Amino acid sequence: MPAALVTGSSRGIGRGIAFCLADVGYDILVNYAGNRVAAEETAGGIRERGRKVRICQGDITRIEDGKRLVDTTLTAFGRLDMLVNNAGIAPRVRADILEATPESYAEVMDTNLKGPYFLTQYAANHMIALKEQGKIQAPRIVVITSISAYTASTARGEYCVSKAGLSMMTRLFAVRLAEHGIPVNEIQPGIIQTDMTGPVKKKYDALIADGLTPIRRWGQPEDIGKAVAAIGLGYFDFTTGAAIPVDGGFHMHRL
């Protein structure tokens, strides 16, 4: 059965992705940075779906940890059919761009961009080799970005820059890996109800009710998971380098 590595899959969007991929037949490597209890909960849900699961702690900012995630997936399942770059953080403090600190910028960029960049590089080289050996047939890579990749939010500029960088990263790997038959696509979540958005729930409750998104509800982690599962099923294998919005229509310009 195919196997997927989903970074940051102990909770939130990552958990929703892991569950949806398990629903369509993937074994899952659950990655977490610090919350082992949450990772165990995700693993339990995957087992309930009848799939194999392995848990692996890893800090995506550490290049060696990223390599270990890939190596653990290969050891556990003998293959790596899908990489989902999901792990990410928001700034610890929402600071005006005129006051943001180099420390916050470095932390966000290391987690959201540098880590996925080199993890994708390492995983892609293994996918190429596995495909050439006939051990996998249709490897795929997905990058979870955000509407913040193109929406300016001056109170968290480092986050927006990191997500915009991931968009370009997606296209770079899509071009490079096309000759190897490895599509690389981007999912752009909108306003998704997770613990990360919990502190601003009241603000966005009101904005959504006022029509911020044509579909007037919060997105759920499974909304993102379903999109990733569709890619995992091969429904987008003639698509690469695409940015797929899952945002309730937020991306549409309206008058």
Q: Which residues are catalytic?
A: 159
C-alpha Rg value of the chain to the nearest Å: 17
Q: Nearest-CA neighbor of 30 among 74, 78, 73? A: 73
- Sequence-distant (6+) residues with CB within 8 A of 54 are 28, 29, 30, 72, 73, 76, 77
Q: Is the separation of the CB atoms in 69 and 56 below 8 Å?
A: yes
Q: Is the separation of the CB atoms in 104 and 111 below 8 Å?
A: no
Residue whose token pair is 């549409």: 252
- Sequence-distant (6+) residues with CB within 8 A of 108 are 89, 90, 91, 158, 159, 162
